[in-house]
A and B are shown apart, each in its own frame.
Chain A
Amino acid sequence: MQQNSVGSYGVGKDEKITVEMIAIATANTCSFVIDTASQVVLEEPRTYEFRVTVSAGNTHFAETRGAFHGPPPSDPTSDPRFEVFFTGSFGGGRFTGPVIRRSDPDHMCDITFERP
Chain B
Amino acid sequence: MIEPTKQPPFVFQSIHRTQWSGLARAASSFLLILILSSQGLAQQATPSINRLKEQIVRMEQVDRDPLLPEEVKAINRRLLNERQQQLRSLLERSIEALRKYQSDPNSLLSAQETEDIAAAIAKFNEELSQLQPNSGAATEAGRSESNGNGSGAASSDLTTQAPANAKPPSNEPGEGSRVALVTPQPMPEGANATTQADCYSDAPPLLVDTAASGAFRVVRDGAGSIDLSLQRLIFFTIADAVSRAEKDEARRDLIRSIQIRQFMEETARTDKQIGASASSEGSTSAAEKPNFANLLALAIEHGAIAKEVNGTALTLSTSPYAILAAAQGDTSSNYKKYDFFRRVGISANFNIDDENNVLASARRHQLSEWSVRARLSGDRSTRSPEFEDFWNREVRKTFEQVPFVLVNEFATLFRNETEKVRRQVAQRFRQYAQEYLTNNAALSEEAKREGLQREILCRLKEEVFDNIDRFGLTEDDRQRIVARTLPALQAATQSESAALALVDQKIKEMSLRPLATFAYTNKRDPDNSDYSLLKFLYERKTFNPVQLILNGGVSFYHKPNSALHQRSVRDIAFALSLEGKAGRSPFVNQELDNSQITFAFTGRYERMFENKFFADRKADLAFAQFRVEIPFMTGMSFPFSVTYANATELIKEDHLRANFGFSFDADKLLFIRSFLRKNSLPIQ
Listed in ascending order, the chain A residues whose CB lies under 8 Å from chain B are 4-8, 22-29, 31, 33-36, 44-45, 57-63, 65-79, 98, 101-112, 114
Is B416 an interface residue when CB atoms closer than 8 A count as contact?
Answer: yes
* Residues of chain A within 8 A of B221, CB atoms compared: 6
Render B169-196 as a binary contact track against A, CB cut-off 8 A, 1 for contact.
0000000000001001101100100000
Q: Is the CB of B263 within 8 A of A67?
A: yes
* B contact residues around A75 at 8 Å (CB): 325-326, 329-330
Nearest chain B CB to A44's CB is how many angstroms away? Answer: 5
Pairs across A and B, CB under 8 Å, 9 listed: A6-B224, A6-B227, A22-B332, A27-B383, A70-B382, A75-B326, A102-B675, A106-B210, A107-B263
Q: Closest CB-CB distance, A77 to chain B, in whole Å?
A: 7
The answer to the question of B470 belonging to the interface, with a C-beta cut-off of 8 Å to chain A, is no
Task: Known A6-B225, A68-B265, A75-B326; judge A105-B230 contact (CB<8 A).
Answer: no
Q: Do A61 and B410 have beta carbons less than 8 Å apart?
A: yes
Is B420 an interface residue, CB under 8 A from the partner? yes
Contact A71 B415 (CB under 8 A): no
Contacts A23-B331, A27-B387, A106-B210 given: A69-B674 contact, CB under 8 Å? no
- The CA of A73 and the CA of B224, in the complex, are separated in Å by 28
Partner of A110, one of B216, B227, B381, B391: B227
Give A8 to B229 CA distance when docked, in angstroms.
11
Proximity string of chain B (321-349) to chain A, C-beta cutoff 8 Å, 1 when within and 0 when not: 11001100111110010000000000000
Whether the Cβ atoms of B419 and A65 lie closer than 8 Å is no
Q: How far is the CB of B592 from chain A (nearest CB, A)?
A: 9
- A7 in contact with B674 (CB, 8 Å): no
In Å, the complex CA distance between A28 and B35 comes to: 59
For residue A111, which residues in chain B have a CB less than 8 angstroms away from its CB? Answer: 227-228
User: Main secondary structure on chain B at its contact with chain A?
Assistant: helix
Q: Are A69 and B503 touching (Cβ within 8 A)?
A: yes
Nearest CB in chain B: distance from A99 CB, A: 8
**Contact residue range for chain B?**
35 or more
* A35 CA / B411 CA spacing, docked (Å): 6
Task: Report the bound CA distance from A16 to B228 in whole Å.
Answer: 22
The reply to whether A78 and B403 form a contact with Cβ atoms under 8 Å apart is: no
Give the residue name and chain of the A residue nearest to B678 (CB): A103
Within the assembled complex, what's the spacing in Å between the Cα atoms of A31 and B503?
16
Q: Which residue of chain A has its CB nearest to the CB of B413?
A: A61
Cβ-based interface call for B396 (8 A):
yes
> Cβ of B667 and Cβ of A71 under 8 Å apart?
yes
Q: Does B671 contact A (CB under 8 A)?
A: yes
Tell whether, in the assembled complex, residue A28 and residue B227 are in contact, meaning their CB atoms are under 8 Å apart: no
* Given known A76-B670, A110-B228, contact A29–B391 (CB-CB < 8 A): yes
Specify which chain B residues have a CB less than 8 angstroms from the CB of A63 in the assembled complex: 403, 406-407
Contact B332 A23 (CB under 8 A): yes
With a cutoff of 8 Å between Cβ atoms, the chain A residues found around residue B404 in the complex are 33
A82's nearest neighbour on chain B, judged by CB, is B332
A26 touches B383 (CB 8 A): yes
Knowing A63-B406, A70-B265, A106-B262 are in contact, say whether A22-B191 is a contact too (CB < 8 A). no
